[in-house]
Amino acid sequence: MDKLAFDVAHFLAGSLVLVSLMLLYQDRLSALLNVFAFQAVVLALSVAWQAYVQDAPHLYLTAAIALSVKAIIIPVALHRMIRRLGIHREVETAVNIGPTMLGGLGLVALSMVVILRVTAEADMYAREDLAFALSVVLLGLLMMVTRRNAVSQVVGFMSLENGLILAATGAKGMPFVVEISVAFSVLVAFIVIGVFLFRIRERFDSVDLQAMDDFRGERR
Amino acid sequence: MAAIAPIVATLWCVAALLITGAIAVAVGRLKWARWLIYGSSLTVCAIACAVAIVHLIARPAAVSEIVLPLGLPWIGANFRLDALAAFFLVVINLGGAAASLYGLGYGRHESAPERVLPFFPLFLAGMNLVLVAADAFTFLLSWESMSLASWALVMTHHREAENRKAGYVYIVMASFGTLALLLAFGLMAGPEGGYAFATMRAHGAPTGLAGLVLALALLGTGSKAGLVPLHVWLPLAHPAAPSHVSALMSGVMTKVAVYGFIRITFDLLGPVSWWWAVPVLFAGAITAVLGVLTALMQNDIKRVLAYSTIENIGLIFVAIGLALAFEGNGMKAAAALAMTAALFHVLNHALFKSLLFFGAGAVLTATGERRMETLGGLLNRMPATGLLFLVGAVAISALPPLNGFASEWLMLQAVLLSPELPQWALKLLIPAVGAMLALAAALAAACFVRAFGISFLGRPRSPAASNAHEVDGLSIAAMATLALLCLLTGIFPALVIDALAPVSSALTGSRMPVQTHVAWLSIVPIAESRSSYNGLLVFLFITASASLAAFVIHRLASDKLRRAPAWDCGFPDPSPATQYTADSFAQPLRRVFGGFAFRATEVVDMPSPGDGRPARITVTLRDLAWDLIYDPIIRLVAYLAERLNHLQFLTIRRYLSLVFGALILLLLILAAWS
């Protein structure tokens, strides 16, 4: 049972990293949102498995929140948003996909090395879990750095937050309040960012951040 | 009294001071607020002083401790009252009580009392808390509140640009000092985070890092005490504050810094090594000589006093350095002698420097002037202030029978023991330091002959000085109390030395021989055959011979009336401009030392014959600490700020990339660490 529990947890967390890498090479916004929704589903599965293994019923609630908010509400809302903005067919990258993927692989390797070295005495579950979670966080950050469109930056931010949830649920005894507050703060951030997107769009006729930089008269 | 532990009583006193400060915020603008605030500060300081004296005398070896559930959650706020803290509490509350008494009178002339009254008790409370703090967090918090309260007091008259500059330099240096102390405590706490002093004491100095901790402690406490070259803020900030606050900052706050240094080196950092003495001796000797030399060149009387504080801090650090040298070599008795000399001088300097600042404040009240070039002849107009200032000047010049002599004599006795040290470095260094001490003492005498002579003797140089009147009775009472204490500790040094015995035995494991048993109240630092000093005898001799001389002159010499052509006593021209001025008095010394110490240049502009304009002499002095250290640092900071300025205007993605890059770099370092 123990072995199986570990293997399944390992598999789900690893899938999350894989989906994060998939996010990196989606250059169309609607495809990006679909992959993000898929990532949230994997996260919900992983959290639910942790709830089962750790015998912590409150984690089921976390999983339910992840599934409903991140896999359904936010992607649907973002889909509607990009349709209204008319950018759902847009192709955009600031950095080419090849180097980005290579960088992403490097980040995964780095987080493995760091976590496995630093947490030598920790519980085995927690070690693997933290290593994957750090990879997801770094990949989310990488996405925010390499994308130019505001919507993909929002997606990068949310995928980063998924990594945080993974880390939080992997460690035993994390209070439920923490997860709830993280989830709600992300929801609020999402709303705020959504509002801002429309305001930016109104003013600049684009959500490409390049337009804002041009407006400020910055050189690249 | 027996029911309350001394530490609890001290903490209640601190609480009372804090409440007084809070009340002062509300009533600060009212006319009678001064009586309430200074009155309660005086009472509380007197009580705290009495508690500390009782603790020091009655139960010298006892340690009184308490942990309050404040501060860092896992260690709480630790407070501890031992012999060292008790002695410094006596010094600080004595100075605090005297300053409060003086403030009762002096505060009448304050133009903005609401800017002084709230911070004055807060400042006292901060200093008291530093002394009883027994963990790094509480210590630094109290240290910072002391710094901030004194900064607010320096900024009382913030409409003058000079004071704003003083406040700015002060706050920068104070922050730097606290940073150094923070790092020192961090190193001593070690990776386990043992921030309580008891933990640090238990595991001693971190291996291989003792030198670094010592350097940081010297920087941190030295910047507050005024060690050269960290002293630049002191002559700006101390004169800028109201005079009773100047007295507190100069006479008392610098002692808190001395306390911090002694606490770290002798108590927390574990067994003393002899080489710790070398930097301390160097810093102390240079500070002493440069401090007093600069004091000689100043024209503002409060700046003279501030620079003289720097000199005295140098003397105290030299004595601490001697104690380190002896202690590191296991010469317990000699270490006790040097430590007693340092502590005795701490007490003495607090007494006479407060007295002198009160005197300068009285002069400022009476004439509105701090520049000595505009004073003169004040002794006739303010006889009490003049006499008391003279007592302080004699004491600080280390003339017997006053207290300054007793402590500096003990220091020189400790210097004379240096040939018994095994290390050649110390054998050669300490006599040189002794020579510097002697030079500083001689220059200090010249400095105070100048300060007293130019301000109080001769004829008034301005209408302000000729119209001066004696100050109020409370100010004089405060000065008279301190002058009396200077005289008493000078005549009966044996009592002070014996009261200091528990402190030196707690720090060095030894004490000076019991002095009160020696016949005729003499003090004998090592052995009767080597040296002894009797303040009482000297006092009686001076009093008797001076009275006799006065009697003889009055009875015999001026008996007959004589008429003769006046030689004019050197005053053929009645203009006060013909008198010696402060600058002309200092000129010989400036010519000897100025070229080396200040890069002094004199330019004489002599008009050709027949030209009607006056001849002028222009003297320029450079402050080498500014020229060699601070100006380059300021230029470097300005250059870097200029270069980094464009970081303020990046795009969002660039900022994110910076964060990302920094994170990756840190992770890479972590990965490559072991």
Average pLDDT over residues B10-24: 93
pLDDT band at B648 (very low <50, low <70, confident <90, very high): confident
Sign, CA torsion B36/B40/B41/B42 = positive
Are the C-beta atoms of B412 and B420 separated by less than 8 Å?
A: no
pLDDT band at A220 (very low <50, low <70, confident <90, very high): very low
Q: Compute and round to an integer the Cα radius of gyration of chain A.
A: 18
Query: What's residue A195's pLDDT?
Result: 67
Residue B462, domain member (yes or no): yes
Q: Which two tokens stand for residue B605?
A: 């502009």
Average pLDDT over residues B179-188: 92
- Whether residues B539 and B604 share a domain: the answer is no
- Domain, as residue range, for A109: 3-218
Residue B377, domain member (yes or no): yes
Q: What stretch of H or E contains B452?
A: helix B424-456
- Whether residues B613 and B635 share a domain: the answer is no
- Domain, as residue range, for B515: 351-547
Are the C-beta atoms of B600 and B590 separated by less than 8 Å?
A: yes
Least confident span in A198-212, B34-48, B167-181, B429-443: A198-212
Query: What's residue B566's pLDDT?
Result: 61
Q: Which residue has the higher pLDDT, B73 or B540?
A: B540
- Whether residues B512 and B473 share a domain: the answer is yes
Chain B residues in contact with A142 by the CB 8 A cut-off are 660
Query: What's residue A179's pLDDT?
Result: 64
Q: What one-character-per-residue DSSP string does A81-110 give?
A: HHHHHT-TT-B--SS-HHHHHHHHHHHHHH
Query: What's residue B486's pLDDT?
Result: 94
Distance CA B635, CA A160 (A): 42
DSSP letter for B512, please.
P
Are the C-beta atoms of B489 and B403 separated by less than 8 Å?
A: yes
Residue B157, domain member (yes or no): no
Q: What one-character-per-residue DSSP string does B544-611 give?
A: HHHHHHHHHHHHHGGGS-------GGG-SS--GGGS--HHHHHHHHIIIIIHHHT--EEEEEPPPTT-
Q: Which of B653, B659, B660 sits opposite A209 (nearest CB)?
A: B653
Q: Which of B660, B670, B674 sits opposite A145 (nearest CB)?
A: B660
* In the predicted structure, residue A1 carries a pLDDT above the cut 60: no
- Whether residues B484 and B369 share a domain: the answer is yes
Query: What's residue B119's pLDDT?
Result: 94
Q: Tell me: the pLDDT tens digits for B279-304? A: 999 999 999 999 999 999 999 999 99
Q: Where are the alpha helices (DSSP H) in B155-276?
A: 161-189, 197-203, 210-225, 234-240, 243-247, 254-262
Query: Predicted ipTM?
Result: 0.83
Count H helices and E strands in chain A, helices first.
9, 0
Q: Which residue has the higher pLDDT, B345 or B31?
A: B345
Least confident span in B44-48, B428-432, B504-508: B504-508
Distance CA B404, CA B407 (A): 6
Average pLDDT over residues B516-539: 80
Scan for tokens 């337009």, then name that residue.
A211
- Whether residues B437 and B471 share a domain: the answer is yes
Across the interface, whether the CB atoms of A117 and B653 are under 8 A apart is answered no
Least confident span in B59-68, B255-264, B414-423, B621-630: B59-68
Q: Which of B650, B660, B671 sits opposite A114 (nearest CB)?
A: B671
Q: Tell me: the pLDDT tens digits for A180-209? A: 666 667 776 776 777 677 667 666 666 676
Chain A residue with CA closest to B666: the answer is A114
Number of domains in chain B: 3
- Whether residues B387 and B519 share a domain: the answer is yes
Q: Which of B660, B664, B674 sits opposite A117 (nearest CB)?
A: B674
- Whether residues B363 and B500 share a domain: the answer is yes
- Residues with Cβ within 8 Å of A113's Cβ and at least 6 positions away in sequence, in order, are B671
pLDDT band at B1 (very low <50, low <70, confident <90, very high): very low
Are the C-beta atoms of B15 and B70 separated by less than 8 Å?
A: no
* In the predicted structure, residue B661 carries a pLDDT above the cut 60: yes
User: Of A146-150, B156-160, B204-208, which has the strongest mean pLDDT?
Assistant: B156-160
- Whether residues B483 and B432 share a domain: the answer is yes
pLDDT band at B132 (very low <50, low <70, confident <90, very high): very high
Are the C-beta atoms of B218 and B324 separated by less than 8 Å?
A: no
Chain A residues in contact with B659 by the CB 8 A cut-off are 141
* In the predicted structure, residue A71 carries a pLDDT above the cut 50: yes
Q: Which two tokens stand for residue B534?
A: 């009797």
Least confident span in B3-12, B132-141, B230-239, B389-398: B3-12
Residue B200, domain member (yes or no): no
Residue B271, domain member (yes or no): no
Pairing mode of beta strands B616-620, B601-605: antiparallel
Average pLDDT over residues B113-131: 93
Distance CA B81, CA B623 (A): 41
- Whether residues B421 and B490 share a domain: the answer is yes
Q: Tell me: the pLDDT tens digits for A108-156? A: 999 988 888 877 777 766 777 888 889 999 999 898 888 877 788 888 8
Chain A residue with CA closest to B672: the answer is A114
- Whether residues B355 and B408 share a domain: the answer is yes
Percent of chain B with pLDDT over 90: 53
- Whether residues B421 and B541 share a domain: the answer is yes
Percent of chain A with pLDDT over 90: 16
pLDDT band at B140 (very low <50, low <70, confident <90, very high): very high
Q: Which residue has the higher pLDDT, A75 or B74?
A: A75
Residue B202, domain member (yes or no): no
- Whether residues B456 and B526 share a domain: the answer is yes
Residue B133, domain member (yes or no): no
Residue B259, domain member (yes or no): no
**Peptide bond before residue B576 is cis, with ω within 30 degrees of 0:** no
Least confident span in A203-212, B213-222, B254-263: A203-212
Across the interface, whether the CB atoms of B652 and A209 are under 8 A apart is answered yes
Distance CA B341, CA B406 (A): 9
Number of domains in chain A: 1
